[in-house]
Amino acid sequence: MRDRILEAIFRAIDDANDSFAPADRLAKSAETVLYGPGGNLDSLGLVTLVLSVEREVDDEFGTPVSLADEKAMSQKTSPFRNVGTLADYIEVLLTENANA
Amino acid sequence: MPESNVIVITGTRKGIGQYLAQYYVEKGHCVVGCSREPAGYDLEGYSHYTLDVSNERDVVKMFSDVRKRFGAIYGLVNNAGIASMNHSLLTPLKTVQRIFDTNVMGTFLFCREAAKLMRPAKCGRIINFATVATPFKLEGEAAYASSKAAVVSLTEILAREYAEYGITVNAVGPTPVQTDLIRSVPKDKMSRLIDRQAIKRFGEFRDVSNAVDFFLNPQSDFVTGQVIYLGGA
Ligand SMILES: NC(=O)c1ccc[n+]([C@@H]2O[C@H](COP(=O)([O-])OP(=O)(O)OC[C@H]3O[C@@H](n4cnc5c(N)ncnc54)[C@H](OP(=O)(O)O)[C@@H]3O)[C@@H](O)[C@H]2O)c1
């Protein structure tokens, strides 16, 4: 499942990169920092990416997830710190959904 | 012209919502409606989702389905709403919760999910429902009027958040319109209320659709964060 999630995120990155300035484009790797110190995205860039990821995850798994999270803007625990933490977070949501 | 002609309207089983669903289908729009109970009518160009607007999971699922069917949407009319007329000292907290769930949480959720489907086209119109009970500060409507005050505040702030996506967010504040919503309000209370309007009559469905038409108009792209109170409230 994790590989499929990462692939979905990478497709979302491709999509979001189209609207980012060249210097802000994101690399397709689990280590890519997204938001917070060392990250390329401002809050609007984060919105663009998150919405693309929601869409790709829904298309890949047929399960719509809302990635809105209270901790989104927190530097320590935000699921949006990097691609890896985002994938973890999506895995949790999809599992919760499957068990609901 | 906008690329999509799809309009999502909440609370379409009866009352103002049912009228708006039929009205916009007649105008050639594809209308997606919803309410807790099935619509009870069939219309070409209309499809119904049976859900509670405050149920996040169901709302997200509905918009996922709408995206797969239509791609984008052009308009959202957040009409679903409930009221309770009661002195605050006699109002159970549960009632307040129910009112806020439908009127505020429902409106928030639909704005959030609809904006996601409007953003790619950089074009969208969101119309929320306020009420004259808020500016009139009506006694006996603390829960209802304050929930709609929250809707006004949401409208004003989302107008700013969504502006860069070409999405306008406005609200219509009807006066009393003869639907089930106000059936239980005593006659004398209703006439005192109508007396406070500049134009002293009940609102009609067409008064509401006229204001919604204005906000929905593609040319209203410089009008956002506004509330039109009918009847001169
Ligand atoms: N009529 C008035 O005098 C007046 C005045 C000012 C403002 N307004 C506003 O106008 C809007 C429409 O009111 P109305 O007079 O048409 O009311 P209504 O006749 O009572 O109809 C309300 C509609 O909303 C639906 N609804 C209620 N709660 C819902 C929920 N949690 N989830 C999904 N659907 C829900 C109902 O269907 P189900 O029961 O099947 O869910 C119904 O279709 C409301 O926002 C109201 O506050 C009305």
Domains, chain A: 2-99 (1.10.1200.10)
Taking contacts as CB-CB distances below 8 angstroms, the residues of chain B near A44 are 164
Rounded to an integer, what distance in angstroms lies between the CA atom of residue A72 and that of residue A38? Answer: 16
Rounded to two decimals, the pTM is: 0.94
The three-state DSSP-derived secondary structure of B106-138 is HHHHHHHHHHHHHHHHCCEEEEEECCCHHHHCC
**Minimal Cα–Cα distance from A75 to chain B, Å?**
22
Q: Which atom of ligand 1 is nearest to the CA of B148?
A: 47
Closest partner residue to A51 (CB to CB) among B56, B60, B119 is B119
Q: Does B164 touch chain A (CB under 8 A)?
A: yes
Mutation target to probe the A interface, by most A beta carbons within 10 A, among B63, B69, B112, B116 is B116
Q: What is the CA radius of gyration of chain A?
A: 13
Whether the Cβ atoms of residue A30 and residue A6 lie closer than 8 Å to each other = yes
Q: What one-character DSSP code corresponds to residue B233? A: -
**Pair of tokens at residue B7:** 């309009």
Query: In which element (H, E) is residue B169 found?
Result: strand B167-173
Whether the Cβ atoms of residue B147 and residue B131 lie closer than 8 Å to each other = no
pLDDT (tens digit, 0 to 9) for every residue of chain B, 233 residues total? Answer: 678 899 999 999 999 999 999 999 999 999 999 999 999 999 999 999 999 999 999 999 999 999 999 999 999 999 999 999 999 999 999 999 999 999 999 999 999 999 999 999 999 999 999 999 999 999 999 999 999 999 999 999 999 999 999 999 999 999 999 999 999 888 998 999 999 999 999 999 999 999 999 999 999 999 999 999 999 98
Domains of chain B in sequence order: 6-229 (3.40.50.720)
Rounded to an integer, what distance in angstroms lies between the CA atom of residue B134 and that of residue B131? Answer: 6
Q: What one-character DSSP code corresponds to residue B212? A: H
